[in-house]
Amino acid sequence: MKKHILILLLAIFPAISFAASSAHLDTAPIDIHDKDSIKRGAKTFADYCYSCHSAGFMRFNRIAKDMDMSDDEIREMMIFTRDKKGEVTKVGDLMNVAMSTDYAKGAFGGPVPDLSLTARSRGANWLYTYLRTFYADEGRPSGMNNTTFPDVGMPHVLWEQQGIKKPVYVTEEHAGVSVKRIESFDTVQAGSMTEEEYDAFVADLVNFMVYVAEPVQVERRELGVYVLIYLAIFFVFAYLLKKEYWKDVH
Ligand code: HEC
């Protein structure tokens, strides 16, 4: 009995230590079936993120097809750029940005990551939290820092919507060492949106990024249900056939 408890403890120990080490993440209120939300997110992505970040595994006309839009509609909504050769971006093009890696290194201290798969590598909750936890920090080159991604190279591009927050620190004693910790935030400059509006705005953007990271996921899940139904029906026939084959053996 004691041995069982020990094994159980060992099995859950990594989960406990992992949970303890990761920062608190808010749950992203997203619905991958909500095409209007994904469209709003796509527009935000084109307006505020695509100037730096590519989503190089995605094509504009794929978004148009999945969101029931025409090529003209998608062009009007999200294509404002030229490619690296200076030609106007076409609807069939991949969502690559024209910014060179050298320029990004000079401006932000490193390359700007492609965001095609970030919703899968980081998770939707991480993205939703990250985009809402920027705060003013004079020690950083962009004047901004982030509690979810400390010392991030990215400026707070959505500050006009969210406003600017300043951290309120508390000093705590841990084993004789005093540690400064952020306790809460004060708004130093109000944004154009209320907190609820900003949360919904970010949720749409995250919904779009989750869609981009796996465009077929809705289809895949629906297909999965049919496959399971098929297997359930097939099981009956397989079982009857097995009985038929084995009936003379015993
Ligand atoms: C001015 C250029 C710029 C813009 C605009 C910009 N970013 Fe960034 N972003 C960066 C840079 C640079 C990094 C890399 C930060 C680092 O590694 O320190 C980054 C990192 C990120 C990361 C972390 C990726 C990872 O897995 O490490 C995410 C997520 C992200 N950006 C999302 C966005 C979203 C969403 C938008 C639009 C609202 C946006 N960014 C707009 C420059 C930008």
CA distance 229 to 148: 42
Q: Name the residue of 134, 154, 160 whose CB sits within 8 Å of the most ligand 1 atoms, as the mutation to test its pocket.
A: 154
Q: Indicate if ligand 1 lies below 6 Å from the C-beta of 124.
A: no
Q: What pLDDT score was predicted for residue 6?
A: 66
* CA distances from residue 95 to 49, 82, 98, 101, 236 in whole angstroms, order as listed: 12, 11, 10, 16, 48
How far apart are the CA of 112 and the centre of ligand 1, in A? 6
**pLDDT for residue 130 is more than 70:** yes
- Block residue for tokens 């504009």: 60
Q: Do residues 116 and 55 lie in contact, with contact meaning Cβ atoms separated by under 8 Å?
A: yes
Q: Name the residue of 51, 53, 147 whose CB sits within 8 Å of the most ligand 1 atoms, as the mutation to test its pocket.
A: 53
Q: What pLDDT score was predicted for residue 39?
A: 97
How far apart are the CA of 89 and the centre of ligand 1, in A? 22
How far apart are the CA of 165 and the centre of ligand 1, in A? 19
pLDDT digits (tens, 9 = 90+) for 86-102: 788 899 999 988 788 88
Q: Position 35: which residue type?
A: K
Which tokens in the block code for residue 44? 């935000």
111 or 73: which carries more pLDDT confidence? Answer: 73
pLDDT digits (tens, 9 = 90+) for 203-226: 999 999 999 999 999 999 999 999
How far apart are the CA of 81 and the centre of ligand 1, in A? 18
CA distance 225 to 223: 5
CA distance 131 to 59: 24
